[in-house]
Structure 1
Amino acid sequence: MRKPFRIAIGLLLVLVLLVAGGAAYVLLVLDPNALKPRIVDLAGKQGIGLEIQGDLAWQLFPSPGVRIGRTRVRATDHRIPELSFERAALSLDWRGLLHGTPKISALSVQGADIKIATATQAVVAAAAPLAAAAVSSDTTPATTDAGKAPTTIAISAVDITQSRVTLTGAGAPRVLDNLDFSSRDMVLDGKPFPVRIAFDYTDSALPMPLGIAVEADLGVDQTARMVATDNVHLHVTPVGRAVIDAYFALRFEQIRDRLAISALRISSGALAAEGDLTVSELSTLPAVRGQLRVPPADPRPLLAEWGVPLPQFSAPDALARVGLDTRFAATAENLVLDELKLAIDTTEIQGAIEARLAAPRQLKAALHGTRLDLDRYRTTAKDGPQTADAALLAPLAGPIAFLQGGNGTLDLDWDELTVDKLRLEALRLRVAFAGDDVQIHDLSTRTLGGTAAASAQLHGVTGQTPAATFKQRLTGISLAQVRQTLAPKLDLTGTLDLSLQGSARGGTSAELDRTLDARGSFGISAPHLDGVNIERAFCDLAALVDKADQRKDWPKGTAFKDIAGEFHLAGPRLVLERMTTGVGNLALRGEGTIDRGAQHYDILATARLGGERTSPDGCLVSSAHLRERDIPLHCQGSFGKDAATQCAPDKELVAQLVQDRVLQELRDKHGDSKKGKAVEGLLRGLLGDKKDRN
């Protein structure tokens, strides 16, 4: 038994000596640098310029192979990127050598510098690490003749370190620096193998460099033309910013021209996103379909860290909660957001948006919101009505800018919208866009105890001088709520009904206000004027004429009969053409002007008493000169910062009434005597009365 054992050991020693001797011969006698000219010549025949500036050397451990010094590679037809590296090593598999079939099994490159100028070169560079991998553990993808023993290329391990990739296309160059790539067990039969790549990315379009690292177990099936992985980890580190982490599964099927990303999870700071997407017709007309969900969170710290400025809102907790959930589908020409859910603080918005991105553009949007208080997001103090108008018309600006003359519709419903303390309930907006024209079919809401509705046509909205025609109706508006919400110095209360129709032209709000031309009518039920008692003003006049004592215990304000009127809007001026009302037996009609620009009004009210008393609780009017006669009352005032109101009888009327009273007393005293007529004539001359009363 010992003799065969000794023979086996002897044979093994002989084999080791032969291998050692062969290795020594290769390492000491054969100089690989002598092969440089032949290698360069072979590369040249393939259209590749090869410049080996460093030395070639054999290596024995950890596996046999060859080390390559500084080398530069470029293709004469630019089909591959320009490449240079400091050092590289090709390793041979021991088992292949023992079977007489040398097999290149590993590649390591250090200090590579790759310059990519075209998209084709980028594809070649991305696919290079896998190009020479084995199709399976039993077959090899490529061989190179070397005499009787073909050399097999079946690289299963790649290491690239301390390298750089420069993208030199249009614009400033983009650089992938400090590039490291490693992979093991690379077999293209669909079985996963580990891949890791890390680099620093610099782009002038970005505010800072990015550190990027990707790890995955990648399965590549060359036969099925498919790439799949279930555990991609993308780690992005912006310099001075919060880290961005992404995890997802990926499946690319070249035969179906389809890419699917599932189980996507992205997080940075307090924000996170989840979703999945599928891209079909990837190489021809890509179409993306998927779902995206951003759980509600506070985006402000992350935005501040990224240097994204936010306005100083009036509410300190404004934009403290933002979330998104939607299904989407997109191509180069179309975008669809379906089952859209957007959360902004306590406001929830749902709906759908369909848009055609190519000309002529189209848009179809239907959105429903819950409650939104715009006062929380106020940044500068503005005039209340202008702010309300801007808030109502703001939804039109985005579609008009997007459509660029295309067609579309916008359906907007809001449960409650608050702007400048004005609460709008059940807000409804229906708009159609057609070229340069906008048709507002319905803008309606419940507000101030009543309802408001409007419709309008806007023409030439993208031109220099757009024009608008409109109709508006207010029903059951409480003037007490108007005073409480919008106009704290409004003296009139009651319930307002109003209708208005008009037009305006201009490219700015100032031009529209200046060219405003509209006519309307209004009615106020149960009106009450605070501060001024119209009945008292009339009774004071009667007391003056009747030489009676003026009553002092009048109630404040005036309770009118229902008011009805017609008006004309001419720019900032409101011309009151007719207004009728009354107090007891005192009928009133009025006309005048209210100037919004000057914040001043001038109203001439004409009173006419039917009967001897102004009202059951009013005053007795003895003078027949004040009954069944038009008595003008002139009211002037302002409604700005220093609001004031003053109403008084017409001065000429008072003078006439005094004259009539004096003359009546003369007649009563002297009768028709010549002396009495002479005195009456003298008084008429002194008072300036040129009427012939004979």
Structure 2
Amino acid sequence: MLRLLKWLLLGLLALILTLGVAIAVAALVIDPNEYRDDLAALAERELGREFEIEGEIEWSFFPWLGIEVGRITMADADGYHDEPFVEFDRLAAAMKVWPLLRGELHTRAVEIERPVVRLMRDEDGQDNWTDLAERFAAEESDAGQQPAGADAPADADATEPPPADLEALAGMVIGGVRLNEGAVYWEDRSDDRRIRLDPVNLEIDTLRLDEPVGIRADALVGDEEYLEFTSEARLRQADAGPELTASWSLSPLDPKGLLEALGEEPPETEDPGVLRSFSGSGEIDATAERIDLTGLAVELDDSRVEGEAAIEPAHPTIELALQLDHIDLDRYLLPETAEGEPSGHGNGGNTDSDDGPREGLGDLREVALDFPLEPLRPLVVEGRIGIDELHAADLTVSDFEARLTGSEGELGAESLRARLYEGELAGHAWLDARGDVPAFNVATSLEGVAFAPLLEDLLDRDWLHGRGHFHFEGSGGGAHLHGLIEDFEGSGRIAAEDGNLLGLNIPHKIREAAAQLRREEPPEAPGHDERTDFSDLTASFTLEDGIAHNEDLLLESPVLQATGEGSANILAEEIDYRVRATLPDGLNEEDAPLLHRLAGATIPLEITGFLFEPDIRLDLAEALGEERLERLGAAREEIEERVDEERERLEREAEQEQERLEQEAREQRERLEQEAEEQRDEAERRLRDEVESFF
């Protein structure tokens, strides 16, 4: 950039010096207006375009050696505009005489009034400046050829330009540039697009080596959007070569409005109010090898980023340290589809239900990962990015920090840290740009996170409450999101404490099954949402070929213990999972009489169907059959026990009755025997009395 600036300045000086010498001679002997046609014809031969000097040419000699030219026009190429390709109403340049006599160059500001440039691309994609570019390129090539027979220095490098040196500018005073009321028109007939910048103003203050120079530029784009840029720059010759330092400021502009004024369709965003304000300021310190950007302060809408950056284009290397106060990235996404309109389906697993189409992931092959990889391969990156508060994918993250690093085609965040949902995130993320398609390697760890608000914001589904941790790591690549998920391989683990699973109340399902078995009215639903409380929940999983697989789900609660295994096919959007709930011994009979009776029973559940709205079904046939066996077994034992008890009771009663009857018989016999004996005694007494009385 400095080398280019140097050659531009030297070219401007050479032009001014040549004009000065020509003016000095011509002003004394000729009237330049007599040669306007000859000068125009000479320019026309050089440019290959019709050239006209319509305005007057005026000389000045003392104390300024200068020239002022009125209206000049250069015609457009055939088949393009009828109006001139370039025109301006006035051009004035001058240099001071006395310093020139001392070998010093002091110029007055070059003044250009109402310059107009008309650019066009035709229906075939041809530009109206191509012929000029080819002509100038040919002249530069001819000028660069060595005369025949000339020997180049043995150590010369024909492709490397000479080192930049600004010592030739020492002592020079260049009065600057004043470009007033200019205009640039662009027309692209291949896609029917037009851009107009009118007016365009540029003002560069007096330029001296190693002294500050003010720069101001403004333009009105499409009669609507106003751009304004200011800068104060200093150019100096340092020991290591030329160095440019500058401060700059860009006044607030409307990005969407600017795109509309430039003939581009502004992006649709979820929040129509974003991309409506952009401004910035900072400082630049540039050499031929390195550009340092310090004091950066850029504002986009209500977000502000501050920091510094450095670029070494030759390597290339980027160093940066940026801090963003806050941003809601969801506001900048494409707007969601209208309510009730499906957003697309998956690849076979997401079919229409009886209630209509169900919203799924859509065709993930349409989400292309087609960013260019070639420029990233030689890139070297070192830096840090911090965000006080970030909202993305409906997630809210605070104190986000990423340490960036990378080289040889591997770029990423070596250290990611953030706070979110009462927990902490740590991990890394890498992009591998060495292959034909992008590949990624990620690892993340969430500690102490509250799952309920996290999943509600991430998946818009409230299905897990509790606090715990989540770990995942894996790698894969692809040309689109479908290919990335299909290729990705990884593993993870989740653990939560003192929470609940929403959408399924296993104890209530068991009570319903038992009521059906006994042909009773089903129990009333609990007053809260369907949920299964747990004290601990753990599960690990693997991800391969787009399928997440788990074999060790363990859920523990005061009233049950559950294990599970199965898989979720992300690409097909299908789930096939089995849970087996076991009722432990030791349940309080008064608090849970039915569950107490079913202690040790195993209840199978099936989770199948559409991944995002699965069918959760209790296997009633198996569950009720097992309960019936338990109940019948308990009843049979109870009846047999009662029969035995009744038999024993009857036997005891029979024995007691027999003993009673035998006792009564004995007593009756004894009574009868006594009565008989008494009657016999009485009869004998009477007989004796009668015998005695007879005799």
| TM-score, structure 1 normalization | 0.63
Report the Cα offset of residue 442 of structure 1. Answer: 1.5
Tell me, yes or no, if structure 1 residue 593 matches structure 2 residue 503.
Answer: no
Q: In the alignment, which of 475, 481, 503 is matched to residue 475 of structure 2?
A: 503
- Identify the residue that residue 36 of structure 2 maps to in structure 1: 110
Give the partner amino acid of 2:427: A
Mapped partners of 2:107, 2:198: distance in 1: 31
- Identify the residue that residue 174 of structure 2 maps to in structure 1: 228
Q: Is the 8 Å Cα contact of residues 93 and 111 (structure 2) preserved in structure 1?
A: yes
CA deviations 1:460-507 (Å, max 9, x no partner) are 413125544432111233232135423333333222411123332434
1:90 and 1:252, CA in 2 relative to 1: closer, same or farther beyond 3 A?
Answer: closer
Higher RCO (C-alpha under 8 Å, 6+ residues apart):
2
- Superposed, 1:11-22 pairs within 5 Å as none
**RMSD (CA atoms):** 4.7
The alignment partner of 2:331 has SS state of helix
Tell me, yes or no, if structure 1 residue 648 matches structure 2 residue 625.
Answer: no
- Superposed, 1:226-305 pairs within 5 Å as 226-229=172-175, 232-239=178-185, 240-252=196-208, 261-268=213-220, 270-280=226-236, 287-305=243-261
Q: Is the 8 Å Cα contact of residues 106 and 173 (structure 2) preserved in structure 1?
A: no
Mapped partners of 1:386, 1:652: distance in 2: 35
The alignment partner of 1:538 has SS state of helix
Tell me, yes or no, if structure 1 residue 415 matches structure 2 residue 388.
Answer: yes
Q: Is the 8 Å Cα contact of residues 90 and 104 (structure 1) preserved in structure 2?
A: no
Q: In the alignment, which of 438, 445, 452 is matched to residue 411 of structure 2?
A: 438
Tell me, yes or no, if structure 1 residue 475 matches structure 2 residue 430.
Answer: no
Give the partner amino acid of 2:452: A
Q: In the alignment, which of 78, 92, 97 is matched to residue 187 of structure 1?
A: 97
CA deviations 1:151-172 (Å, max 9, x no partner) are xxxx95645445456999xxx9
Q: Aligned residue pairs: how many?
A: 517
Mapped partners of 1:516, 1:303: distance in 2: 38
Report the Cα offset of residue 514 of structure 1. Answer: 0.9
Give the partner amino acid of 2:117: Y
Mapped partners of 1:192, 1:498: distance in 2: 70
Give the partner amino acid of 2:616: Q
Q: In the alignment, which of 340, 347, 370 is matched to residue 325 of structure 2?
A: 370
Mapped partners of 1:300, 1:521: distance in 2: 44
Bigger Rg over Cα: 2
Give the partner amino acid of 1:201: V
1:662 and 1:584, CA in 2 relative to 1: closer, same or farther beyond 3 A?
Answer: same
Tell me, yes or no, if structure 1 residue 449 matches structure 2 residue 422.
Answer: yes
Q: Which has the higher strand share?
A: 1
Report the Cα offset of residue 348 of structure 1. Answer: 0.7
Mapped partners of 2:567, 2:296: distance in 1: 50
Mapped partners of 2:456, 2:441: distance in 1: 31
1:616 and 1:318, CA in 2 relative to 1: closer, same or farther beyond 3 A?
Answer: farther
Q: Is the 8 Å Cα contact of residues 550 and 566 (structure 2) preserved in structure 1?
A: yes
Report the Cα offset of residue 429 of structure 1. Answer: 1.4
Q: Which has the higher helix share?
A: 2
Mapped partners of 1:612, 1:436: distance in 2: 61
Mapped partners of 2:543, 2:170: distance in 1: 76
Tell me, yes or no, if structure 1 residue 563 matches structure 2 residue 473.
Answer: no
- Identify the residue that residue 524 of structure 2 maps to in structure 1: 552
1:223 and 1:415, CA in 2 relative to 1: closer, same or farther beyond 3 A?
Answer: closer
The alignment partner of 1:561 has SS state of strand
Mapped partners of 2:329, 2:450: distance in 1: 23
CA deviations 1:105-126 (Å, max 9, x no partner) are 864342424449999xxxxxxx
Tell me, yes or no, if structure 1 residue 313 matches structure 2 residue 287.
Answer: no
The alignment partner of 2:260 has SS state of helix
Tell me, yes or no, if structure 1 residue 493 matches structure 2 residue 493.
Answer: no
Q: Is the 8 Å Cα contact of residues 404 and 414 (structure 2) preserved in structure 1?
A: yes
Mapped partners of 1:539, 1:334: distance in 2: 75
1:466 and 1:156, CA in 2 relative to 1: closer, same or farther beyond 3 A?
Answer: closer
Give the partner amino acid of 1:187: V
Report the Cα offset of residue 331 of structure 1. Answer: 4.3
The alignment partner of 1:110 has SS state of helix
Tell me, yes or no, if structure 1 residue 537 matches structure 2 residue 509.
Answer: yes
Gaps of 5+ in 2: 1-13, 16-21, 48-56, 100-104, 130-167, 186-195, 338-342, 344-358, 644-695
Report the Cα offset of residue 251 of structure 1. Answer: 1.9
The alignment partner of 1:314 has SS state of coil
1:557 and 1:110, CA in 2 relative to 1: closer, same or farther beyond 3 A?
Answer: same
Q: Is the 8 Å Cα contact of residues 591 and 604 (structure 1) preserved in structure 2?
A: yes
| TM-score, structure 2 normalization | 0.63
Q: In the alignment, which of 589, 604, 610 is matched to residue 584 of structure 2?
A: 610
Identity fraction in percent: 17
Report the Cα offset of residue 323 of structure 1. Answer: 0.8
- Identify the residue that residue 281 of structure 2 maps to in structure 1: 325
CA deviations 1:283-320 (Å, max 9, x no partner) are x9764321211133435445433324321223233222
Tell me, yes or no, if structure 1 residue 627 matches structure 2 residue 599.
Answer: yes
Report the Cα offset of residue 580 of structure 1. Answer: 1.9
